Structure 1
Amino acid sequence: MPLLFFGLATFVLTYPVSLHLQDAVLDPADPMLNAWILAWDAHILPRDPLSLYHANDFYPYSNTLAYSEALLGQGLVAIPLIWLTHNPILAVNVVWLASFILSGVGMYALVYHFTRRRGAALVAGMIFAFNPFRFAHLFHIQILSAQWISFTFLFLDRLVKQRRWSDWAWFVIFFNLQVLSCYYYALFIIVSVMALLLGYWLLDRRRFDRRLLLRLLTFAALTAALQIPLSLPYFTVAESMNFERSVGDAVGGGADLTDFITAPPANWLYGALSAGLRDEGWWEHVTFPGLCALVLAVVGATWGRGRKSALRAPTALYLLLAGITLTLSLGPALRLGERTIFSPLPYRLLFDYAPGFQAVRQPARFHAFTMVGLSVLAGVGVAAVGDRLRNLRWARGVPLALACLIAAENLALPLPFTHAPLADQIPPVYHWLAEQPGDGPVLELPILMDVGAVESPRLYYSTFHWKRLVNGYGGFFPPTYAYFLFFDREFPNQPYRWILGLGVRYVLLHRWQYDAQELQRIDARLVEFHDRLRLVADFGEDQVFEVIQPATGLSNRPLSAFSWSGKVALLGYAIEPPVARPGETVEISLFWQNRAPVATNYTVFVHLAGDDGALMAQHDGQPASGERPTSTWRRDEVIVDVHTVLISEETTAGMYEARVGMYELQTMERLPVLEGDGMIHGDFLPLGRLYVVEN
């Protein structure tokens, strides 16, 4: 019955999206990003599971899936569905709908466990599954995927009280499912479980005997063994790319007091009333629980703490949980609008000392756990009302009436959506890409400030070709992407050196995303680059340019298959100008990428050699003119290292090969250049050729 009830409620309250699961997306940004993530999981896990986090976005960086959620919990349903239907949009929508249904069922099970009242459990499930916070995050599948929280707390209660290994097993399963569904909630559920354990200990310390402690320690050890390997890429990326939030970010992402009376704009009842409180990014600042939930929770908290109440323990536990998580949702400071009332709050301790919280931008998302506490208290409140009205004929209809009232309070129909193109509807340029050999890399232009709406569809389209993209979208952005964002409008002049240096093979120019004046300027500049950016496919509004390396006359390609002692790779290079005269200087830009810590400060040499191997010119020096010694390079960091080589007046006309390598200055010993299989290639890497012509 609960499954059918919440299924029907979900179908109605998500209309008309619930009728268009095959191709509907609420927004072109996050839903299409999530479709790409789930498609990547389905693509890579059966082929190379150890490369899960090395997704095809944000080339040339590694562990780029860790810039977002991996959605492995959602993948348990979505991945088989993608294998079966080849439709990631359908998969993400099925997971989206299931989050509402299972959130309701989970809370129903938790409250029924405490109250043994189906009506109370039904109302609590409606509050948790359908509330303003969830409707504000309709396009965030990871935030909606809170269904395993209630199941986790249910079996935690059973474990504490009965100490059975079967309850321990379900507690482990549901806890880890929740961790794998959302890493925000992974951090928050650890805090919440600790808060509940504190509550159990305060209520009855005798429960914490050796049997229970053994089970809790075993749970912690097993969970750590499973989750640490899966979370390491997140910590690796945070350290290597310096992806951390500031205290100011956490303050801005905390709930201010006005957020607790703010509803989504589409809400029929409260949307217009709270319009003046919503600002940019309003969806992160909706922590209004709904009046029905609030009133019922107050009734439950009041009645449940009474001396004669049989529900004193769960009331105290979930009042404690609601209080702690509400306080933490405020972030490091108590604010009213732009004004700080008090600082610091307890969240500052988590930010300063708890691993992982430095990456949290939105402490307000703790509100999901506050809603767990309020939903349980509301269930207790409905049970209290039921006891008072049990002698009345119509008392049995009260829970259903309350459930309908909660649904009406959260109506936001019809949900707006757009149709996502399926395989036979995607732009033909991506079918063309799928037919090309190799894995790119590909740069798609323009890069616009509305990053999510622009890049998420490109990521989704990449599921049809799986080429590596310089583009991407996530919670963080790497430096090279920021460079192209800044210089996008200067294409191809300013970005060309970086396009060469990163080893980009194709540039996709989406003409329809430029205005007419910008296109005129770009077309005029492209004429000058006709021999370096070769038009290889023209689909009208979408054009593909193949990048030509002037030093070889061949298609540009990454050189990252080679490395110096397995620690440093050369992505690519640019020789400017490719033709020089005696007495002139040539700039050779090397684009290094660090793969492992380097303890020694190596010297880079750039040689220009004739066909007989004789040295014509050279430049030796520390990278980036000594400003970036190799010992300072962070993992995955891209270093642009420019060497200016003087062509002497005595140089004869001809072709000269550029060679690059590294050596230790004190010993003059060169680092070996290794091929991808670990075989030694030599002690230098030959690049392209420089042409010297007579004066």
Structure 2
Amino acid sequence: MHAHSKLKTIASWVFALLFFLLAAVAGTYPLAFKLGEGVLDPGDGVLNTWILAWGATILARNPGQFFQAPYFYPARDALAFSENLLGNLPLFGPLLAFSGDPVWAANAFLVLSVALTGLATYALLLRWTGSRTAALAGGLLFALSPVRMSQVNHLQLFGLWWTPLTLLATSAFLRGARWRHGFAAALCLALQFSSSVYLGYFLLITLASYVLARLWRTPDLRTRTLAIRGAMLLAGTGLALGGLLWPYLRLSRTWGMSRTLRDGTALGADLLSYLSAWPHSIPYGGRLAAVLPLYAHEKYLFPGLVVLALAAWALGWAFSRRREKLSQEARAVAFAGTVAWLLSLGPTLQVRGIITFLPLPYAALFYLVPGFSAIRVPARLGLMVALCLSVLAGIGLSRLIARHGTTPLRRGAIAAAALALVLVDTHHRPLTLYPRPVPSALDRALSRAPMGPGVFVPMPTYKREADGILESGRMLLTLPSGRSLVNGYSGFFPDSYLELARHLENGPTPEALDALAATGVTWLGVRYDQMTPGERLSWDPAEVPGGLQLLWREAGQGALYRIDRKPKPSPLAATLALPPTLSGDRAFTLALTLEAPHGTWVAPAPAERRALRISWQGASPRTEERKVWLPLSLQGSRSIGVPMRTPRKAGNYLLTVEGPDFVATSSVAIGSQAMPDTLTAPIQAQVSWQNPPPPPRVLAGQRLLLEATIRNEGGNVWRAATTWRERLAARPEWLRKHPRWIFDNGAGEVGVAVRWTEKSTGAEIAVGQARPRRYPLAFDVFPKETYRFEEHLFAPEAPGTYVAELRLADGFDAVAAPLAQYEITVE
């Protein structure tokens, strides 16, 4: 009898696995039938495919180099610019070994992740309810939830099966405080974190809310043994994850990487997002409220009517049966889902795309919880809301069967009807497949290039939506060769990438080639077929530029060059630009001008932000260190901003800034009277401009150099950067007029905004990714001082006559009247 029961249990699990595999194949159609033929997203999807393929490859060859990914050269620990997806490799690795094709393996991984997530939710519900029908329905609701499936372009969000298993193990640990259950919960939590830092934090929030609710309502669980063992397991998990997360902390310190509440404000869920259905959903797409604010693709969070109805039934039963164990679980899950819903709204309430600036709890967690600031898209917490609703729906269905399924026939009818409704609720249109990256003639010619680091142009500065597609494809295609690339794509970009990209905006100039050679780049690949007509003007010269050796060329396609250039070395001189007097105990970003007078100055390796030693000698001596980005190489002169805080005591001081290869000194008086600035008073727009106009006629997509010398004729300091603490300390009357200080929108931070309009209609158009595009000041501009603005912009890609307009901007808002306008005809 015991053997028969065991076989029956095994058979039921095999059936569940096959059920969810079939559901995954159907729910991801046509992906399972075209695994190697396309990608679900040509940008982020290809990037995640590359990350998984890199991880599986390097762990088999040299695990110690896991974070030394061959992109964003010469930056170290480059993999830490993105999620490392390590916890997904036990599934992805065998798929890659079997197929030898990263795209095939990534697509198969996504299909299997849907099945495994459903199976994990099934295990949780089966343990809690004892109903296989309810467990199948709940697992299916979450595995194919429209909230999940709307994120198919984000492969990193699909390795979610550890979350239901963590809840299952934690529930058992709370009931008995057994080590085996605690170890299982800790292991699942660690695996979820290693699969995705995003999902790890989401799970931590959900888990903390669930445990808090269980302990609050069930005093019997609050034992000393539980507390001690739980603390030990949590500490052990944290230590284990420390090694995985350490490169991210190191990179954050090296490059100054951090998110701001601006991201959370823009990417938080709208209040009506939970009524906004995924457009691909057949029963709901286009029938419910279509809330389309910024980044709408992150905010399709309507879970479906069936899951809502069953979850409501579960809650009604749970609050009427408070003493039952399943009722306690249901109420704890409901509380966790409510917390996730509230945090998904981000730092401020939004309604139909209108930001109300009503503070929400997310803002407090952003500043108080270590690592929480890495969560760029709060709306993705809707995944945890979907999980909690699916679990509640499974509980609701189990109670419905228990109440009305008094006979086998009735139970069968309820089960069949429920599963049919679930299938209808999760039904959606076939997924869209995009062409996979394929090698070009230039890629095939790369075998002729030296094996050292190289760069492809056009090298984007991410002013256009398609730039991510361009770079992620290059990364995937060069992975088999192991070549290091200056190119790369991620949510973060090192300053070295942006600097080299700006050097290459004007073609193979001597300055650009010296910068590449100084960095150690040995080859240059040019893709004419990926350029606009305007870009080809600079990169298709009649003669090979000096310092380049032509290795391959094909008309209209591309060219491959060896870089053979040795920059003439030059010493580095530095001067500080200060007003005669500064306010005491205030934060400023002061201008430091660097100059290489006799050739090219090359920064010492490694490429990273440099620590500058800042010392004040005078009435109250003090010394501090600040990390800033210095150029990789420099010809001529450039001004950079150095943040520092002035001494508190008034008097005369000698300010010294010491960095690699330079020392700059300047005398300055520190006064006790506060200097008015744009944080405590409105911008004064008394500004004079001196600027050469751009060419009146350009080609579509051509890069334009906009230059302007701006003079601050007002009485306020134009601040380049402010902190939330400074905004908190600003005048109360200013805060009443500008309540956005807490949301880090850059209040008081001055920049130059560029706005494009059609001349005939006056309608504003988007050129690149934003309208208007804002360029922050590099350093504070004091009254009667000047600032040199120089930026390359893309011309519109549609022919016509346009007006490019420049304004001063405070935070997100252009606050000054147009200060320069240029009429430009695009051909």
* TM bracket (short chain): 0.7 to 0.9
* Deviations 1:451-479 (CA, angstroms, capped at 9, x unpaired): 22111111110212121111111111222
Partner of 1:445: 458
Partner of 1:218: 232
Q: Select the residue among 582, 600, 603 that pairs with 1:591.
A: 603
Partner of 1:381: 396
Q: Which amino acid aligns with 2:519?
A: L
**Cα shift at 1:40:** 1.0
Q: Which amino acid aligns with 1:406?
A: V
Q: Is the 1:601–1:664 Cα contact (8 Å) retained in structure 2? A: no
**Cα shift at 1:314:** 0.9
Q: Which amino acid aligns with 2:540?
A: D
**Cα shift at 1:312:** 1.5
Separation of aligned partners in 1, 2:393 and 2:221: 27
> Residue 638 and residue 153 in structure 1: after superposition, are their counterparts in 2 closer, same or farther (change >3 A)?
farther
Partner of 1:623: none
> Residue 342 and residue 512 in structure 1: after superposition, are their counterparts in 2 closer, same or farther (change >3 A)?
closer
**Cα shift at 1:154:** 0.2
Q: Is the 1:32–1:460 Cα contact (8 Å) retained in structure 2? A: yes
> Residue 357 and residue 523 in structure 1: after superposition, are their counterparts in 2 closer, same or farther (change >3 A)?
same
Q: Secondary structure at the match of 1:504?
A: coil
**Cα shift at 1:64:** 1.5
Partner of 1:407: 423
Q: Is the 1:593–1:637 Cα contact (8 Å) retained in structure 2? A: no
1:573-584 matches, cutoff 5 A: none
**Cα shift at 1:138:** 0.6
Partner of 1:509: 526
Q: Secondary structure at the match of 1:211?
A: helix
1:109-128 matches, cutoff 5 A: 109-128=123-142
- Within the alignment, does 1:546 sit opposite 2:562 as a pair? yes
Q: Is the 2:322–2:328 Cα contact (8 Å) retained in structure 1? A: no
Q: Is the 1:63–1:237 Cα contact (8 Å) retained in structure 2? A: yes
1:266-305 matches, cutoff 5 A: 266-274=280-288, 276-279=290-293, 281-305=295-319
Q: Is the 1:444–1:508 Cα contact (8 Å) retained in structure 2? A: yes
Separation of aligned partners in 1, 2:481 and 2:427: 40
**Cα shift at 1:7:** 0.7
> Residue 439 and residue 39 in structure 1: after superposition, are their counterparts in 2 closer, same or farther (change >3 A)?
farther
Separation of aligned partners in 1, 2:315 and 2:195: 30
- Within the alignment, does 1:314 sit opposite 2:326 as a pair? no
Separation of aligned partners in 2, 1:476 and 1:241: 10
**Cα shift at 1:519:** 2.1
> Residue 396 and residue 342 in structure 1: after superposition, are their counterparts in 2 closer, same or farther (change >3 A)?
farther
> Residue 129 and residue 154 in structure 1: after superposition, are their counterparts in 2 closer, same or farther (change >3 A)?
same
Q: Is the 1:148–1:178 Cα contact (8 Å) retained in structure 2? A: yes
**Cα shift at 1:308:** 7.1
Q: Which amino acid aligns with 1:232?
A: W
Q: Which has the higher helix share?
A: 1
Partner of 1:52: 66
* Deviations 1:337-393 (CA, angstroms, capped at 9, x unpaired): 233346211111110111112222111111111122111111121122213321363
Q: Select the residue among 152, 175, 179 that pairs with 1:161.
A: 175
Separation of aligned partners in 2, 1:145 and 1:205: 34
> Residue 81 and residue 13 in structure 1: after superposition, are their counterparts in 2 closer, same or farther (change >3 A)?
closer
Q: Which amino acid aligns with 1:409?
A: D
- Within the alignment, does 1:474 sit opposite 2:474 as a pair? no
Q: Which has the higher strand share?
A: 2
Separation of aligned partners in 1, 2:323 and 2:228: 32
1:92-103 matches, cutoff 5 A: 92-103=106-117
Partner of 2:350: 335
Q: Secondary structure at the match of 2:549?
A: strand
Partner of 2:779: none
Q: Which amino acid aligns with 1:283?
A: H
- Within the alignment, does 1:325 sit opposite 2:340 as a pair? yes
- Within the alignment, does 1:426 sit opposite 2:443 as a pair? no
- Within the alignment, does 1:398 sit opposite 2:414 as a pair? yes
Q: Is the 1:199–1:320 Cα contact (8 Å) retained in structure 2? A: yes
**Cα shift at 1:536:** 0.6
TM-score, normalising length from structure 2? 0.67
After superposing the two structures, state which structure 1 stretch, 211-220 or 5-14, moved more: 211-220
Separation of aligned partners in 1, 2:548 and 2:606: 28
> Residue 435 and residue 174 in structure 1: after superposition, are their counterparts in 2 closer, same or farther (change >3 A)?
farther
Q: Which amino acid aligns with 2:336?
A: L
Greater relative CO (CA pairs within 8 A, separation 6+)? 1
**Cα shift at 1:66:** 1.2
After superposing the two structures, state which structure 1 stretch, 386-395 or 123-132, moved more: 386-395
Q: Quote the RMSD (CA, aligned, Å).
A: 2.9
Q: Which amino acid aligns with 2:527?
A: H
Q: Select the residue among 92, 98, 122 that pairs with 1:108.
A: 122
After superposing the two structures, state which structure 1 stretch, 332-341 or 137-146, moved more: 332-341
Separation of aligned partners in 2, 1:313 and 1:638: 59
Q: Secondary structure at the match of 2:350?
A: strand
**Cα shift at 1:159:** 1.1
* Deviations 1:376-424 (CA, angstroms, capped at 9, x unpaired): 1111211222133213634323233323323323323321113435xxx
Aligned residues: 589
Separation of aligned partners in 1, 2:252 and 2:233: 27
Q: Which amino acid aligns with 1:439?
A: G
Separation of aligned partners in 2, 1:306 and 1:638: 67
Partner of 2:546: 531
Q: Secondary structure at the match of 1:536?
A: strand
Q: Secondary structure at the match of 1:545?
A: strand
Q: Secondary structure at the match of 1:264?
A: coil
Separation of aligned partners in 2, 1:437 and 1:496: 16
Q: Which runs of 5+ in 2 are unaligned?
A: 1-14, 569-594, 615-622, 638-658, 665-827
**Cα shift at 1:185:** 1.5
TM-score, normalising length from structure 1? 0.79
Q: Secondary structure at the match of 1:495?
A: helix
Separation of aligned partners in 2, 1:595 and 1:641: 14
Q: Secondary structure at the match of 2:198?
A: helix
Q: Select the residue among 474, 498, 503 that pairs with 2:515.
A: 498
Q: Percentage identity across aligned positions?
A: 28
Q: Secondary structure at the match of 1:464?
A: helix
1:81-230 matches, cutoff 5 A: 81-230=95-244
> Residue 496 and residue 313 in structure 1: after superposition, are their counterparts in 2 closer, same or farther (change >3 A)?
same
